[in-house]
Homo-oligomer: A and B are copies of this chain.
Amino acid sequence: MAAMKVHGNVFSTATQRVVACLIEKDLDYEFVPVDMKSGEHKKDHFLCLNPFGQVPAFEDGDLKLFESRAITQFIGHVYSGKGTQLIFENPKKMTIMAVWMEVEAHQFDPVASKLGLELAVKPMLGMTTDAAVVEENEAKLAKVLDIYEARLAQNKYMGGDAFTLADLHHLPTVQVLMGTQCKKLFDSRPCVSAWCAEILARPSWAKVLAMQANN
């Protein structure tokens, strides 16, 4: 039995973030599906793992964690000797990488998540897309991607000179947006476009997508 457990749903971007991290680190884990359609994530046995009732929740032995980026940072630091090195040993490089992890969390993700909801989730559920929300957030995304373009013109990866959590955290939402009209905002910026192509081509990410396809 694997010591680590991910309680989540393969269609949840936050779950995918943690699973991609575990695969990059070449760690054994057990995936425990949470049936969100039946509201399992709002029931007591799940709320004991995450009081906010959101996937994923994570266990490593008796340590119980939630919040996807706290989980990936735990894995990155505690299992630094395994698989892909997703953090920097050098404190200054690590500090700069931490800035770009915050950028993903506070500048990119809120905008990308709203666009994903309007342009991917709502159409799938037969709901009406709010054009005003799309317009407002596409403008915001374009500004963020302008800054990413400048960053990636100077650095091969978002966090510095190697693939790290600062890139990995983007994977699930970038994947969603590349299936929408927002793809053009990525494609029109050469460095952003090359970065997207490279991170989406990682074998770990192919395995995450395969989990969705097999579901």
Interface residues of A (CB under 8 A from B): 51-52, 63, 65-67, 69-70, 73-74, 77-78, 91-92, 95-96, 98-99, 101-103, 105-107, 110, 147, 150-151
Contacts and interface: CB of A to CB of B under 8 A. Distances in A.
27 contacts: A51-B147, A51-B150, A52-B103, A63-B92, A63-B95, A65-B95, A65-B96, A65-B99, A66-B99, A67-B99, A67-B102, A67-B103, A67-B106, A69-B102, A70-B95, A70-B98, A70-B99, A70-B102, A73-B98, A74-B95, A74-B98, A77-B91, A78-B91, A78-B95, A105-B105, A105-B106, A110-B110
Oligomeric state, in copies: 2
A114 to B, nearest CB: 12
Contacts of A102: 67, 69-70
Contacts of A98: 70, 73-74
Nearest to A14: B106
B52 A147 contact: yes
Given A66-B99, A67-B106, 13 more contacts: A51-B147, A52-B107, A65-B96, A67-B103, A70-B95, A70-B99, A70-B102, A74-B95, A78-B91, A78-B95, A105-B105, A105-B106, A110-B110
Contacts of A52: 103, 107, 147
Nearest to A143: B52
